[in-house]
Amino acid sequence: MIVAEQKKLEEIVGQIQDFNKILLVGCNECVTVCEAGGKKEVGILASALRMYFLNHGKEMTIDEVTLERQCDHEYLEEIRDMQDKYDAVLSLACGVGVQFMAEKYHDKPVYPGVNTCFLGATEERGLWTERCQACGSCILAYTGGICPVSRCAKRLMNGPCGGSTNGKCEISKETDCAWQLIVNRLKALGRMDDYEKLMPLKDWSTDRAGGPRKVVKEDVQL
Amino acid sequence: MGFREKLLAGERVFLAELAPPKGSDTTVFVSNALGVKGRADAVLVLDMPGAVMRMSALGGAAVLAAQGLSCVMQMTCRDRNRLALQADLLAAWALGVRAVHAVKGEDPRLGDHPDARAVYGLDSTGLIGTARSLGEGRDMAGGALSGSPDFLMGASVLAAARGSALMMEIEDMERKIEAGARFFVTQPVLDAESLTAFRKRVDPAAARVLPRVIALRSAAMARWVAAHVDHVNVPPALAARLEEAEFPVTEGMRAARETLEAVLDMGFPGAVLGAPGIEHRLCEWIPE
């Protein structure tokens, strides 16, 4: 899923303080799971903002709505009539949702309420960690299902660097060395022969570095 | 007077653009550079133009500086993070480079290594500001330097842009000037008319804008540029002229010389002169 975390209240206030009527829009997908922008977080943030503006003597209407998804035309349409009544939209969706909202409601100022962080998993309640950088050419088949692109600080493709110590990365003693994890996993799978093979040079043209990407599946297109 | 002194004094300046070799043999590169010595005020050493892998501009400029040639080192942001950009600026100064043309750089997809990962650790405006910080004795992290470079910094401008795109280019120029840009180089120019709209809005002498006037070597090249290079107007008359010419290379240089005279008449304070693929003949059409 896409992992996000809510922006600090002061930053959000700075974005919307010149308006009088704000529609605060949550999203029921990824940001709900990572507890950054779901219905619950919309409620809490709306209360915090109301209290802030009340304390600062500014009249401000903050209304709430949470959509099934903000990265989908169908669900964004649900607020077409509603959004007209507001000066601006504050979206708690990931960057995709914020942009899709801005594209759909071209004349409406749309502000992000979260920072979109990475593609990750819930390790435990309140802890999300990165697992994928969407590089566009997956090599997990050769690395025991552990990704050196997203989990090695240097994105190394052929084993650990000299900074790997006791299974930890040189950037932090709390960060596992991805290649130690890969070796451990390959050993467990009895596939250490894979580790001996030289990995072909990584094709980065499918990565973000090649510009904005798209996926087309013609057989499902209307 | 050198390039910097002449440029800042408002005198006419000419740069000759050369790409370093694709390989480690610098013989032809040096020979072409020596060929323009005394005519061009400096050599603009290109930094992997078109995202095609070649010897670095830093290496090329150092080779020419060792030959006593004045260089403007082009520096693309595409291939380096901010550590490497700063490090190469310091190295360039130590090796005798005194002017830098900061560019963003084309995407690797457009070159011969489309699987390469672009970096863009800074944009070109950021790079210009960084050079200024280095000149003030501090790196980007605030660390003190022992010896600081005093580069003459230049930037690019898409002077053939039209309408709102042109206004955005001019605003971008202002930002770059604020960051420390002291001169500008345009996109390749094949006809002076493409600069008319820009000329109406910008005083090219005050902003020190140098049109990049290119000599085409054949009609096939004209067709290729028309089909593949954005923002470059290839006049149909030029393509026809090259098609009909008995000696297209000579004709291409003659046309470039005419374009050069036209842009100088328009008030541009000099030019960058290029002849891709026929660099050994570049000296033939640089004004004495």
- CATH value at residue A84: 3.40.50.2300
Q: Taking 80 as the threshold, does the pLDDT of residue A210 lie above it?
A: no
Q: Which of B201, B213, B203 is nearest to B268 (CA)?
A: B203
- CA separation for the pair A152, A161 (Å, rounded): 10
Band of residue A208 on the pLDDT scale cut at 50, 70, 90: confident
Average pLDDT (A194-218) is: 87
- What are the backbone dihedrals phi and psi of residue B46, each rounded to the nearest 5 degrees, phi first? -75, 150
Locate tokens 């977080």: which residue?
Answer: A41
Domain for residue B254, yes or no?
A: no
Q: Which residue in B has a C-alpha nearest to residue A203's C-alpha?
A: B115
- Asked if A205's CB is within 8 angstroms of B108's CB, the reply is yes
- CA separation for the pair B11, B1 (Å, rounded): 10
Nearest-by-Cβ selection for A211 from B109, B116, B117: B109
- Asked if B117's CB is within 8 angstroms of A209's CB, the reply is yes
How many A/B residue pairs have CB atoms within 8 Å?
25
| Cβ atoms of B282 and B32 closer than 8 Å | yes
Domain for residue A202, yes or no?
A: yes
Domain with B47 in it: 3-216+268-279
Q: Do A22 and A75 belong together in one domain?
A: yes
CATH number at residue B208: 3.20.20.220
Q: Do A112 and A11 belong together in one domain?
A: yes
Domain for residue A215, yes or no?
A: no
Residue B244, Cβ density class (10 Å: 0-12 exposed, 13-18 middle, ≥19 buried): exposed
Band of residue A64 on the pLDDT scale cut at 50, 70, 90: very high
* Residues sharing a CB contact under 8 Å with residue B265, sequence separation 6 or more, in sequence order: B192
Q: Which residue in B has a C-alpha nearest to residue A137's C-alpha?
A: B115
Q: Do A15 and A109 belong together in one domain?
A: yes
Domain for residue A84, yes or no?
A: yes
Q: How many domains does chain B have?
A: 1
Band of residue B287 on the pLDDT scale cut at 50, 70, 90: confident
| Cβ atoms of B69 and B37 closer than 8 Å | yes
Q: How many CA atoms, within 13 angstroms, populate the side-chain half-sphere of residue A146? A: 19
Domain with A46 in it: 2-118
Complex ipTM value: 0.79
Q: Which residue in B has a C-alpha nearest to residue A202's C-alpha?
A: B115
Residue A174, Cβ density class (10 Å: 0-12 exposed, 13-18 middle, ≥19 buried): exposed
- Asked if B108's CB is within 8 angstroms of A209's CB, the reply is yes
pLDDT digits (tens, 9 = 90+) for B188-243: 999 999 999 999 999 999 999 999 999 999 999 999 999 988 889 899 999 999 99
Q: Do A84 and A24 belong together in one domain?
A: yes
Q: Do A194 and A158 belong together in one domain?
A: yes
Q: Do A98 and A141 belong together in one domain?
A: no
Q: Do A150 and A185 belong together in one domain?
A: yes
Contacting residues of A for B109, CB less than 8 Å apart = 205, 210-211
Residues of A contacting chain B (CB within 8 angstroms): 201-205, 207, 209-211
Q: Which of A118, A134, A117, A116 is nearest to A209 (CA)?
A: A134
Domain for residue A125, yes or no?
A: no
Q: How many domains does chain A have?
A: 2
Q: Do A33 and A102 belong together in one domain?
A: yes
Dump strand ranges (E) for chain B: 13-18, 42-45, 71-76, 99-103, 152-157, 183-189, 209-214, 270-274
Q: Do A141 and A92 belong together in one domain?
A: no
Domain for residue A201, yes or no?
A: yes
Average pLDDT (A164-182) is: 94
pLDDT at B271: 98
Domain for residue A56, yes or no?
A: yes
Domain for residue A221, yes or no?
A: no
Q: Do A98 and A165 belong together in one domain?
A: no
Amino acid at B17: E
- Shortest distance between the Cα of B50 and any Cα of chain A, in A, equals 15
- Shortest distance between the Cα of A203 and any Cα of chain B, in A, equals 5
Q: Do A106 and A197 belong together in one domain?
A: no
